[in-house]
Amino acid sequence: MNTKQLDRIHTGKGFIAALDQSGGSTPKALLQYGIQEDRYSNEEEMFELVHEMRTRIIKSPAFNSSHILGAILFENTMDRSIDGQFTADYLWEQKGIVPFLKIDQGLAGPENGVQLMKPIPGLDELLKRAVQKNIFGTKMRSLIKEANPAGIQKVVEQQFAVAMQIAAYGLVPIIEPEVDIHMADKGQAERLLKQEISTRLSALGKDVKVMLKLSIPSEDNFYSDLIQDPHVVRVVALSGGYTQAEANDKLAHNHGLIASFSRALSQGLSDQQTDEEFNALLAQSTEAIYEASIT
């Protein structure tokens, strides 16, 4: 584990940029960026275009360590290069931004009001490659759609089991049990989730470190005790479908919780914009998210 990166994530001011759309979400991300499906004819061309989009974001003067602590990549981006350096090395060496890797393969079907992660075949090999590519940590997402105690227990159990596999490689896992923001009983689901997470954290060995990526809670400062837990490097928030303005406003009411936004970060960015327009809008976004994260 890179101790400089650990200290940066644990104590630094800023937010985590989520640049990890993959698989089925990639065409949607390209459409939001203004690239129609007729611009590519196969998966390789699609991934080349999305890498160009991410490269443009990463190389922008607005994407810098004064506002951004880390960036979450997906596997295809990790394996590609920017200006002759693997993406993770470029992020850290040129930008001072800590690289993370999305490792899940999407969601399984609904059961007990939740969607667990699909199995992750070849995870050990992926983690070995991540270490070789100088990745600091990983991220994996589950989804909670109902305040179902049995389902939420299963989500947390699976997340922590995979997290221990990841931590064995010296990587810091980001545990992401997303709570659907549209749930009628969102607050109850969050209470059940926090209890399960707290129970799992209390059973960890003293040297095990994890991060948590959680939906912005219905009750302000609800996760303050998790933020203070000695096993937790950082608690970050996903935007979860909120607009950038909504997410920033809600985040600002939760002291110590920092952003890890994807759609809210790239909102309004377009392939058709000039570099001046693109960089100006990205600068506005990073500034607004940063201010909400340090409140």
* CA distances to 5, 130, 268 from 77, in Å: 20, 12, 22
Whether 102 sits among the annotated catalytic residues: the reply is no
Q: What's the sign of the alpha-carbon dihedral 4, 10, 15, 17?
A: positive
Tokens describing residue 221: 């400062």
Whether 213 sits among the annotated catalytic residues: the reply is yes
Q: Which of 146, 176, 178, 196 is catalytic?
A: 176
Q: How far apart are CA 115 and CA 110, in angstroms?
A: 5
Tokens describing residue 117: 């992660």
Asked if 293 and 14 count as a contact pair (C-beta separation under 8 A), the reply is: yes
Nearest by Cα to 110 from 140, 141, 139, 143: 143
Q: How far apart are CA 73 and CA 88, in angstroms?
A: 8
Asked if 242 and 181 count as a contact pair (C-beta separation under 8 A), the reply is: yes
Q: Where are the alpha helices (DSSP H) in 236-274?
A: 244-251, 263-266
Tokens describing residue 220: 């302000």
Strand, coil or helix: 96: coil
Q: Which of 102, 139, 154, 213 is catalytic?
A: 213
Pairing of strands 81-82, 85-86: antiparallel
Catalytic amino acids?
Answer: 176, 213
